[in-house]
Structure 1
Amino acid sequence: MTRITLTVLVKETYRDRFSVVVEGCRRQGMAVEREMMALGLFSGNIESDKLTGLHAVEGVAAVEADRPIRPYC
């Protein structure tokens, strides 16, 4: 399977339980690489077939796959 790099946004009402949301995503198979608690975001990667499981984690507001940045010419 292909691994997808992504960013997860934590719901505003779950900011005080940020680490619980991160752990829930880890249990779904996400390898968390960076936590930005002050922004309510964390990023990492996951197998593409496990992506839908992240949406079911309590406290997750949004999941967005990273897109490659291409130079503008």
Structure 2
Amino acid sequence: MPEPISTQAAAYLREWAQREQAASPELAAVLNSIADNGLPRPDECTPWEQLRDEHYKRLGIVVDSWHVA
């Protein structure tokens, strides 16, 4: 079950989502989802490092343990 967030945090996320809507509908959808449902549990998430490395591979960027070249 997601971790609930405060009413104030949810309101802030909704305001942020509105500001970002025109620039990034996907980000706005994620922010609204967090505001509505709370944060996902860490064990349900993909580590950011894994997402980064997969994206670098799609872009054809060489990745080693310390930097991107």
- Higher helix fraction: Structure 1 or Structure 2? 2
What TM-score range do you get, normalising by the shorter chain? under 0.3
Higher share in strand: 1
Give the TM-score taking structure 2 as reference length. Answer: 0.27
Instruction: Calculate the TM-score normalised by the size of structure 1.
Output: 0.26
* Higher radius of gyration, 1 or 2: 2
Choose between structure 1 and 2 for higher RCO, CA contacts under 8 A separated by at least 6 residues.
1
